[in-house]
């Protein structure tokens, strides 16, 4: 049975606080007719700190899409290998044991993918399969887990490396002044993660069932407008309410597995914002503390897109994990509006 092992996570060294974010919004958008609303929305995110790949003054500059994408590639190559080594060590594997690398990111572009560079520079076999995923946004962390699960189901002796790398600050667009854009400027942070899914052996979450759900007619609620200046993030005001249609999908997945989504032992979900977690608590009928790992990621790092699910899971590991065979749910939410969902049991022994 495929097992999701402990993720390795890192965030960059430059930090911006909530207070600094609010002051920047006041100084740069003093005449904005909806500044008061934007400030309240940013405050309500509950994000205390975020980490950036550059000092804030360089983040606020826009040297052009070419330079930003060059920086994305350089930072990814500088930061990801250490995480990969740690994830392999935590899974008890070597690079030679990996059969597939899944790389997820929506904040920069490389072709060939970073997967090719990893294979060439870190000793992975030349036969290692590659699966880059670039357009699932925040849902990609959950999608990577699901595709790794599918691969290990098809090839039970195989092992999969997942890498998520998001430098959201490189998508900052100073000319975007809608309320949604201003909110995003105070919500998203930078970070990277890696984790291994073992086809056999390993300690962590034994993956048992996965599924996807897309809410019809919502494909323009979270989107990129790709222009000469790069990726311009579009966020519809209806996005915070998406848990009402997605919670039944989570329940249906659990029902199909003979489980009750309201009565599980742990929950690892994407923390897009506090209302996402509050609504899930309400619609699933679980206490707010059930999402404490996701809330901690949101508070300390902000929304780190596809990295969030892996970081929240890392926090569960760091707390000591769950009881043996405890049942849990993992879910990532993103553009589409899409949910990528997984059910699994905690396994304390390889």
Which residue is listed with tokens 């935590």?
90
**301 with 168: CB under 8 angstroms?**
no
For strands 190-198 and 14-17, give the pairing. unpaired
**232 with 170: CB under 8 angstroms?**
no
* Catalytic position from the list 138, 152, 165, 171: 138
Which residues, listed in sequence order, are joined to residue 188 by a DSSP beta bridge? Answer: 303
106 is catalytic: no
Cβ-Cβ contacts under 8 Å for 163 (sequence gap 6 or more) = 80, 83, 84, 101, 102, 103, 104, 114, 115, 118, 192, 193, 194
Cβ-Cβ contacts under 8 Å for 311 (sequence gap 6 or more) = 7, 9, 191, 193, 297, 301, 304
| Residue 66 exposed, middle or buried by CB count within 10 Å (0-12, 13-18, 19+) | exposed
Cα 49–Cα 24–Cα 62 angle in degrees, nearest 5: 95
| Residue 236 exposed, middle or buried by CB count within 10 Å (0-12, 13-18, 19+) | middle
* Nearest partner of 273 among 304, 247, 249, judged by Cα: 304
Q: How far is CA 292 from the centre of its chain?
A: 16
**131 with 102: CB under 8 angstroms?**
yes
**DSSP structural state of residue 287:** -
**Can you tell me the distance from the alpha carbon of 170 to that of 62, in angstroms, rounded to the nearest whole number?**
9
**105 with 142: CB under 8 angstroms?**
no
Cβ-Cβ contacts under 8 Å for 156 (sequence gap 6 or more) = 199, 200
Residues belonging to the active site: 138
């Amino acid at each position: 049975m495929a097992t999701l092992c402990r993720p390795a996570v890192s965030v960059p060294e430059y930090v911006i606080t909530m207070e600094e974010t609010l002051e920047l919004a006041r100084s740069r958008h003093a005449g904005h007719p909806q500044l008061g609303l934007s400030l309240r929305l940013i405050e309500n995110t509950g994000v205390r700190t975020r980490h950036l790949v550059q000092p804030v003054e360089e983040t606020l500059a826009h040297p052009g899409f070419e330079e930003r994408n060059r920086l994305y590639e350089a930072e990814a190559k500088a930061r990801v290998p250490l995480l990969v080594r740690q994830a392999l060590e935590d899974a008890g594997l070597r690079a030679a044991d990996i059969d597939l690398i899944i790389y997820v990111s929506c904040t920069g572009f490389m072709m060939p993918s970073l997967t090719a560079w990893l294979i060439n520079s870190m000793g992975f076999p030349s036969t290692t399969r590659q699966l880059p995923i670039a357009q699932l946004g925040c849902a990609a962390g959950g999608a990577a887990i699901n595709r790794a699960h599918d691969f290990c189901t098809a090839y039970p002796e195989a092992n999969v490396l997942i890498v998520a790398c998001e430098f959201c600050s490189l998508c900052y667009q100073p000319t975007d002044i809608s309320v949604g854009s201003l909110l995003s400027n105070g919500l998203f942070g930078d970070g990277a993660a890696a984790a291994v899914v073992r086809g056999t052996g390993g300690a962590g979450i034994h993956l048992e069932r996965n599924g996807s759900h897309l809410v019809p007619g919502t494909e323009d609620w979270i989107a990129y407008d790709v222009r000469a200046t790069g990726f311009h993030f579009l966020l519809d005001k209806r996005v915070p309410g998406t848990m009402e249609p997605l919670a039944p999908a989570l329940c249906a997945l659990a029902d199909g597995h003979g489980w009750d989504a309201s009565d599980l032992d742990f929950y690892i979900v994407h923390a897009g914002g506090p209302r996402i977690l509050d609504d899930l608590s309400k619609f699933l009928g679980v206490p707010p503390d059930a999402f404490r790992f996701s809330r901690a990621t949101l508070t300390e790092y902000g929304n780190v897109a596809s990295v969030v699910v892996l970081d929240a899971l890392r926090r569960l590991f760091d707390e000591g994990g769950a009881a043996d065979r405890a049942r849990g749910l993992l879910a990532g939410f993103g553009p589409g509006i899409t949910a990528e969902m997984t059910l699994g049991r905690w396994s304390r022994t390889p």
